[in-house]
Amino acid sequence: MKVALYGKQIAKKHVAEIQILFEFLHKNEVDYVVHRHLATSVEEHELIKPESVAYFSSYDDLKNANISFVLSIGGDGTFLDTILYVRDLKIPILGINTGRLGFLSNTPTSEIESAMKDLINGNYSIEERSLLRLVSSKNHFGQDNHALNEISILKSDSSSMITIHTELNGTHLNSYWTDGLIISTATGSTAYSLSCGGPIMMPGSGNFVITPIAPHNLNVRPIVIDDDAILKITVESRAEKNLVAMDSRSEELLNGEVLTIQKADYRISIVQLQNQSFVNSLRNKLNWGLDHRNG
């Protein structure tokens, strides 16, 4: 087995727990490669010796490295960055949470050793998650034009609303007078979309959701659509430029640009250990069932 480790900074409070991970890898003779951003941090904490480590820094590096799993060390934002390196390689990703909520990175650092044993022994399942793909004449985001959570169209200032003209499968759906629009996957339904009143969707439900941000028309509500649908979006605004965001990345969007949004032609594989599930995450992360009547 060979694993790739991706992450950014390791906070001092997590050093001892991450050290357990490296000790486990060495003890069990698991080959590994470390992303250069993460390597800088773990080298500062003297968790690895630079001369003994193989590095990666791109999708192409992983493509030819025969990787069994990618360990994403950080919060959900780090997990979303991880998919930019995995893309269509079908390498399962395990999220180790050193962040806050940890909906995607749902393995706590206190369970690192047991999680690694489960990987070695095959005590896990794989969930396939759909992604969104963005196509535009400006080639926004280049080859990284895929999002696991959502694609958002956002105004770039705090004054006037923007008008977002939206077509669904070639038919006019709505012109949203709003601060923005979120097109979310089922995975992202518990993220930005949820905070704007969107519904929670089960992974694998085969749906996306369109959620307006502060719409001017009060009868405009989120709508769930088939994930095979094709959306075309055009923005009108008093400002010359607005924003298009994919997960945690954003670029300028000019008035009149046409964006095409649809399901990506590949999916991301997420490792779920035996004690993990989307339903458990709903209860534990969103405090579902936290009611004094439930004892």
Of the CATH numbers 1.10.1270.20, 3.90.1150.10, 2.60.200.30, 2.60.40.420, which one belongs to the domain with range 132-265?
A: 2.60.200.30
Is domain 2-122 classified as CATH 3.20.20.70?
no
CB 193 within 8 A of CB 211: yes
Q: What amino acid positions are annotated as catalytic residues?
A: 76
Q: In which residue ranges of the chain is CATH 3.40.50.10330 found?
A: 2-122
Helix (H, G, I), strand (E, B) or coil at 263: strand
Q: pLDDT tens digit string along 73-97?
A: 999 999 999 999 999 999 999 999 9
Residue with tokens 């395990």, as numbered in its chain: 94
- Output DSSP code: residue 213: E
Q: pLDDT tens digit string along 149-181?
A: 999 999 987 778 999 999 999 999 999 999 999
* Cβ within 8 Å of residue 293, ≥6 positions away: none
Query: Rounded mean pLDDT of 264-269?
Result: 97
Residue with tokens 């949203």, as numbered in its chain: 176
Q: In which residue ranges of the chain is CATH 2.60.200.30 found?
A: 132-265
Instruction: Give the pTM.
Output: 0.92
Please provide the DSSP assignment of 187-198 as one string: GGGGTHHHHTTP
Q: pLDDT tens digit string along 17-69?
A: 999 999 999 999 999 999 998 988 888 877 777 667 889 999 999 998 999 99
